[in-house]
Structure 1
Amino acid sequence: MGTPKKTRTKRGGPPSLFKMVMFALVVAAVTKELQKDPEDREWHGTVAGFVPYEFRVPTLQRIKERVWDPAGEHFLSPHVFGVGWTVNVGRIVAVVREKVTD
């Protein structure tokens, strides 16, 4: 019996480009809000011209709107919390059902 092969892990390595970009977007979004007067801070909007951010406390209504909205026109919606998009599962299910019944 030989010695078991060691598997390499990525721990301790440099962060991926994706992680660095996401971190930069979070910093940019928070900075954008902190530059506003305190009474004007909304903690949601867009950064870099098109990337949505949402730092308000999630609500069940917002979760439903963004994750399960079969009547919505988009497959992606802003995250319930954070920077970027989430998949509108409700829309995907609706489209698949339409295709199956055709």
Structure 2
Amino acid sequence: MNRRLRERVVLAAVGALVAAAVAKELRQPPQERTWTGRVAGLPYDFRRPTLHRLVREFWDPDSDAFFTPHAFGIGYGVNLARVARELRRSP
């Protein structure tokens, strides 16, 4: 599969996930919409991002997880605090 086709397939998959997450929220009554949840096993959060959530996505020293849910969008970010901890432990 060439690069352009791969990019289109990935873009279509991401678009389908976003559409599914939005549809899931819109099926709820307005007062029950949280704009956060999971679709196809991936976390999503479409609330307005805050500085605290943005920082915690990439730096959460209180968590042992390597991957943290995105502060906005679908999927995961890398917890660099965990990565740094593991690098310090390496001989």
Partner of 1:89: 80
Residue 55 of structure 1: aligned partner: 46
Structural mapping, 1:17-36, within 5 Å = 17-36=9-28
Paired positions, count: 89
Between structure 1 and structure 2, the one with the greater Rg is 1
> After the TM superposition, which parts of structure 1 deviate over 6 Å for at least 4 consecutive aligned residues?
none
Contact 1:29–1:53 under 8 Å retained in 2 = yes
Q: Assess, with a 3 A threshold, how the Cα gap between structure 1 residues 15 and 95 changes in structure 2: closer, same or farther.
A: closer
TM-score, reference length from structure 2: 0.86
What displacement does 1:14 show? 8.6
State the partner residue of 2:62.
71
- Tell me, yes or no, if structure 1 residue 45 matches structure 2 residue 37: yes
Please give the per-residue CA displacement for 1:17-60, whole angstroms capped at 9, x wherever unaligned. Answer: 11111100000000000000000000011002x11101011111
Tell me the TM-score normalized by structure 1.
0.77
Match of 2:43, SS state, is strand
**Deviation (angstroms), 1:98:** 2.1
The 1:73–1:14 alpha-carbon spacing in structure 2 relative to 1, beyond 3 Å, is: closer
Q: Which amino acid aligns with 1:62?
A: R
Distance 1:68 1:25 in 2: 26
1:38-97 Cα offsets, whole Å, 9 max, x none, are 00000011002x111010111111122221012311111111111111111111111111
Higher helix share: 2
